[in-house]
Amino acid sequence: MQNSSENHLSNVPGVRMDLLNSLPLELLISIFAQLPWSDRRSCLCASRAWRNWMLKVPQVWWYVEVTRAHANAIYNLLPKIGRHIEVLVLNFNPNRFMTPMARGVFKSLKTLKILANKPPGESHMEHDLCLNALRKVSTTLTDLHIDFKLTPAPPTFTEIRVTCPNLVKLGYHVSYFKSNQAELNSTATIDTSKLVELDIGTNKAAISIVEMNALLQQYPDLKKLTITKFPYQHILNIVPRHIPNLEFFKFNRDKNAHYQDDRFPETLPPIRTLSMHTGKLTSLILMEDDFATPMPWDALKSILEQAAPTLQQLHCCFHFTNPRFTKLLGPDPPQFDFPELTRLKCSVGEGKSQKYVASLICNAPKLVAVTIRNYARVQRTADQILDALISLESLTWLELLEQAPKPLNGKKLIDLFKKHAGLKNKAPLQYVSLSGLFVTSDILLALAKVTTLRGVDIGSCGPLLDKFIRALKRLPHFHEIHFMNVRTVTNETLPKFAQLTKLKKVVLLACKKINDTGLYKLLNSSQSLKVLEISKGTARSSKFEEFAKGKLEKLSIDPYFDDSCIW
């Protein structure tokens, strides 16, 4: 039997075909149904013997994710497993799989996600083939997410809706949204109440106000709406008017979200659905690419006023440095109460916006996770927000990012950490990210006294890193540490992380003074480390990568950060 570089059952010593063949079929189905897709895919591609055996339990192939590397093996098995597939994810040009779909191979398909763009040398997705394939699965398909951004003449939104009238969730991404009033009116016969989640994305601000108005009028029963690239001054007025029962609204994307949201995920509270069809907005995400673009205050005030009683998650900008926005602000912020708000992510600018955000925090007593990006150039204005953060009783996750030439008030930060340290084991604070700040040694040592701390994310910091690590040894639950662009992290300091006997995860991004020499020392000295993440620019050999993969549960090379990053 061939061996694969991936860990799966076919590589486990002692796992023999005759033993597997002797097990009851029901037990085998139960076992393989619980395997992650990567393991099932590896079993398929390990050898012909394994592939033939796996086809004895076709029921486990309810989920199939196709990449270029495994496309041939999976395509050849479609006649046998196609009728069992309920979820199909295509990460490359889908034309090849659309052909058997149009022939009726997929009898049970409920979810289809086409995520890939056109690779070099491959043809574009074919318009008619796509619609014919979707038409064949339209009776069972309820969740469709399709990316047409590199397709020159994709099916229109209306064509997709007419072809797939039973959709509950639809993601439609194109480079240019083209439609017209007559075409939108042609969907009048469709039962629009079935569609509860809609995600529309474009590469440009390409959807006109007329088209968006006509489109949203047809879907008053939406519960979740995501839109990218649309003018602020219109969207905030249209959405509440046309979709009164909306519970989740996200406008524009945050290119940094992949980084923040992956850190310490177990701390973030889930967004509770109050109940179906309550018409209560629980999540409001109004972001530009770097969440630094301000919103017109009159529009923002209007939607916050409506959403405040039920809102649980708020992402938006209070970066009021432009006079045309600040003139709309009164001398004092409006006193909205946010009794259910648990997550806040926002940017702030000078005095008035600081006051507005501080007021918001003070009126949201249940806040658990807070991210603040500070653009203020006057240090004292940031004190209002830090004072508000100190007043929170349930703060568990804190991230502070700094874009100003002057640092935040170190004394206020120390007061915040001292408060939580004084609560001993009752303190809620578990994860702190200061990756955008220059952190002094006093701040680090105050942070290390918070006994409930489980993880930290540190940017530029002072020279007393060794003392900070020794202080962390006393924390009973500490297990995760992130460093970004920290020059005091060197090949000599890496082995000292082994002093943290419960450390499970280390992330080293844009740390320019490390290479595989220090990383070898770290892996050999730490007995508890399970996950290591480094920048793609970190000097390392293929031999080290093989060693790390054998030593760790996961080695991750971050594609977003290079060691040339300057923060």
Are 51 and 73 a contacting pair, CB within 8 Å? Answer: yes
Q: What's the CA gap between 106 and 546, in Å, rounded? A: 39
Segment 55-71, tens digit of pLDDT: 766 667 888 888 877 78
Q: Is residue 529 part of a domain?
A: yes
Per-residue pLDDT at 542 exceeds 90: no
DSSP letter (8 states) at residue 247: -
Give, as one character, the DSSP assignment of residue 498.
G
The confidence score (pLDDT) of residue 456 equals 93
Tokens of 275: 């109940």
Looking at residue 567, its pLDDT comes to: 30
Task: Establish if 364 belongs to a structural domain.
Answer: no
Which residues make Cβ contacts (< 8 Å) with residue 413, sequence separation at least 6?
A: 386, 400, 443, 446
Highest mean pLDDT among 23-37, 426-440, 551-565: 426-440
Give the tens place of pLDDT for each residue, 337-365.
999 999 998 888 766 778 888 989 999 99
Cα–Cα nearest to 74, from 47, 95, 97, 101: 97
Residue 205 clears pLDDT 60, i.e. is over it: no
Q: Is 60 exceeded by the pLDDT of residue 274? A: no
Which tokens in the block code for residue 215? Answer: 């489109």
Please, what is the average pLDDT of the chain?
Answer: 77
Q: Is residue 399 part of a domain?
A: no
- pLDDT 10s digits, 502-531: 999 999 988 888 999 999 999 999 999 999
Asked whether 484 and 458 are in contact (CB, 8 A), the reply is yes
Total domains, the chain: 1
Span 398-421, pLDDT tens digits: 998 876 555 667 888 899 999 988
- Residue 471, classed as helix, strand or coil, is helix
CA end-to-end span of the chain: 50
Are the beta carbons of 539 and 546 closer than 8 angstroms? Answer: no
Predicted local distance difference test score (pLDDT) of residue 256: 39
Q: How far apart are CA 555 and CA 372, in angstroms?
A: 30
Q: What amino acid is encoded at 57 in this protein? A: V
Burial class (CB in 10 A: 0-12, 13-18, 19+), 153: exposed
Residue 87, pLDDT > 70, answer: yes
Give the span between the Cα atoms of 159 and 139, in whole angstroms. 16
Give the model's confidence band at 178: pLDDT under 50 very low, under 70 low, under 90 confident, else very high.
low
Helix ranges restricted to H, 138-208: 157-163, 181-185
How much is the average pLDDT of 550-563? 74
Q: How confident is the model at residue 140 (pLDDT cuts 50, 70, 90)?
A: very high
Is 426 among the domain residues?
A: no
**Quick check: is 493 in a domain?**
yes
Rg of the chain's alpha carbons, rounded to an integer?
A: 26
Q: What is the pLDDT, as a whole number, of residue 113? A: 93
Q: For residue 314, list its beta bridge partners.
A: 284, 344
Residue 329 has pLDDT above 70, yes or no: no
Rounded mean pLDDT, 125-138: 89
For residue 548, the domain's CATH number is 3.80.10.10
411 SS3 class: helix
Domain contains 177: no
Domain with 454 in it: 433-567
Q: Which two tokens stand for residue 161?
A: 């809706």
Question: Which DSSP letter does residue 322 get?
Answer: S
Q: How confident is the model over 482-486, as a mean pLDDT? A: 84
Strands (E), 378-479: 397-402, 431-434, 455-458
CA distance 45 to 50: 8
The residue type at 80: K
* Axis-axis angle for helices 542-551, 516-525 (nearest 10): 20
- The tokens for 11 are 């590589």
Residue 375 lies in a domain: no
User: Residue 410's pLDDT is what?
Assistant: 82
Cα–Cα distance for residue pair 232/288, rounded to 1 Å: 10
Q: Which range among 11-25, 117-131, 233-247, 506-520 has the greatest average pLDDT?
A: 506-520
DSSP secondary structure code for residue 496 in this structure: G
Q: What is the pLDDT of residues 206-261, one digit of tens each?
A: 566 677 777 888 888 899 998 876 655 566 667 777 787 888 888 764 343 333 33
Evaluate whether residue 494 is within a structural domain.
yes
Sign, CA torsion 200/204/209/214? negative
Report whether pLDDT(35) > 60: yes
Q: What is the pLDDT of residue 132?
A: 92
Task: Quote the pLDDT of residue 231.
Answer: 55
Each residue's pLDDT tens digit, 493-508: 899 998 899 999 999 9
**pLDDT of residue 447 exceeding 70:** yes
Residue 388 has pLDDT above 80, yes or no: yes
Are the C-beta atoms of 465 and 438 separated by less than 8 Å? no
> CB-based contacts of 218: which residues, under 8 Å, 6+ apart?
184, 187, 188, 192
